[in-house]
Structure 1
């Protein structure tokens, strides 16, 4: 599962990295959460950042409330599930990020938040799919979800799933409407752990209301209540 991520890069940095135009008033994000409006790059508009809601409602389940939306889909079955197959075939997107968070369980009540980034701390992209659907008020919305896969050795110490991180050279192919299903599925592999790093962060990340640089700073291991622990 991927339930939180960060995008601590400037407008200029993102435009240079992805060769796409960003809104002038974009500000870095440190604790992106489901249901929020965030930047993606779609196969329909690869030269500009679009802003979609994180959390997707399948085409067959219109007018479902936010609490029943999906935020992730398993890469292993995304081309087979009726709820995701059409989006996988025709509506793919890049989800720009510079890190993501997972929580390590230590016993029944203790969880330690970790942040995972590239070893060079540069921006990267998750593989995503998107959809347009009609909400309970009859208005059209654009939403997306992030594909997940089995974890590499680094992430597996914390969680049993991780987001699909695309190689930079695969990003254009992921957006290409003419890529074959076989080509697309080959991209949905586990990103190498030796090209990443991880560290513990503050339990401030637990609250969706916190979105500031303190979220991504390296801290001593603390559980979800802010208590220091000897376990990392």
Structure 2
């Protein structure tokens, strides 16, 4: 499960990192949540950023709102599931990010938020798939989800799944419309744990209404109520 991430880089930094143009302004985001409109790079338009809603509306579910039930899909079966296999074959995307969050359960009522990032805190891309659908007003909307896989040793202590972080050199393969299914599935692996870092963050991340640099700062372990805890 990946239900919250951040993209705290500037527009210029993102354009340079992904070699893609972003039309309009972009404000760094520290607490991105499902149903929100965020930048992605699609196989249809790999030289530019598009803004899609996080929460896939499957191809067969026309005229439906953004679905928070479909924010992730398992990488192991995405090519087989009716809901996702068409998008996997034809509509793949990069989801730019610079960290994601998971919560460690340490008791019946205690969960502690953790931030996971690359060791140099650089931007990276999740592997995603996307859909286009027509809403009730006749407008075309675009939605996406993030693929997940078995966790590496860094995330495995906190959660039993992790988002697929693509290696930089594999991003073009993921977007390439000519990549074979075998090639694509081979890309969907857990990221090297030696290249990742993690630390506890403030329970401010628990609310989607909070979106500030304080979200990603390292803090002493606190539970979801803001109480300091010995668990880390």
TM tier, smaller: over 0.9
Following the alignment from structure 1 to structure 2, what is the Cα–Cα distance between the partners of residues 2 and 224?
A: 18
On the 8 A contact 2:35/2:67 being kept in 1, the answer is no
Compute the displacement of 1:27 (Å). 1.1
Following the alignment from structure 1 to structure 2, what is the Cα–Cα distance between the partners of residues 178 and 28?
A: 33
Q: Which residue of 2 aligns with 1:208?
A: 208
Q: Which residue of 2 aligns with 1:53?
A: 53
On the 8 A contact 1:8/1:28 being kept in 2, the answer is yes
Q: Secondary structure at the match of 1:48?
A: coil
User: Structure 2: where are the runs of 5+ without partners?
Assistant: none
Q: CA separation of 1:93/1:192 partners in 2, compared to 1, >3 Å: closer, same or farther?
A: same
Q: CA separation of 1:122/1:43 partners in 2, compared to 1, >3 Å: closer, same or farther?
A: same
Following the alignment from structure 1 to structure 2, what is the Cα–Cα distance between the partners of residues 206 and 119?
A: 24
Compute the displacement of 1:22 (Å). 1.4
- What does 1:176-195 align with in structure 2 at a 5 Å threshold? 176-195=176-195
Following the alignment from structure 2 to structure 1, what is the Cα–Cα distance between the partners of residues 128 and 45?
A: 14
Q: Which residue of 2 aligns with 1:127?
A: 127
User: Structure 1: where are the runs of 5+ without partners?
Assistant: none
Following the alignment from structure 1 to structure 2, what is the Cα–Cα distance between the partners of residues 132 and 184?
A: 21
Following the alignment from structure 2 to structure 1, what is the Cα–Cα distance between the partners of residues 23 and 209?
A: 23
**How many residues are treated as equivalent by the alignment?**
232
Instruction: Please give the root-mean-square deviation of Cα atoms over the aligned residues, in Å.
Output: 1.1
On the 8 A contact 2:5/2:32 being kept in 1, the answer is yes
Q: Deviations over 1:128-169 (max 9, x none)?
A: 000001234443210000000000000011111000000000
Q: Which residue of 2 aligns with 1:113?
A: 113
Q: TM-score normalized by structure 1?
A: 0.97
Following the alignment from structure 2 to structure 1, what is the Cα–Cα distance between the partners of residues 4 and 231?
A: 22
Q: TM-score normalized by structure 2?
A: 0.97
Following the alignment from structure 2 to structure 1, what is the Cα–Cα distance between the partners of residues 23 and 226?
A: 36
Q: Which residue of 2 aligns with 1:16?
A: 16
On the 8 A contact 2:34/2:68 being kept in 1, the answer is no
Compute the displacement of 1:64 (Å). 3.5
Following the alignment from structure 1 to structure 2, what is the Cα–Cα distance between the partners of residues 119 and 158?
A: 18
Compute the displacement of 1:54 (Å). 0.3
Compute the displacement of 1:110 (Å). 0.6
Following the alignment from structure 1 to structure 2, what is the Cα–Cα distance between the partners of residues 199 and 71?
A: 24
On the 8 A contact 1:11/1:24 being kept in 2, the answer is no
Q: CA separation of 1:24/1:199 partners in 2, compared to 1, >3 Å: closer, same or farther?
A: same
Following the alignment from structure 1 to structure 2, what is the Cα–Cα distance between the partners of residues 123 and 68?
A: 25
Following the alignment from structure 1 to structure 2, what is the Cα–Cα distance between the partners of residues 54 and 5?
A: 11
- What does 1:1-232 align with in structure 2 at a 5 Å threshold? 1-66=1-66, 69-232=69-232
Q: Secondary structure at the match of 2:76?
A: coil
Q: CA separation of 1:111/1:83 partners in 2, compared to 1, >3 Å: closer, same or farther?
A: same
Q: Deviations over 1:55-93 (max 9, x none)?
A: 011122223344554100000000000100000000000
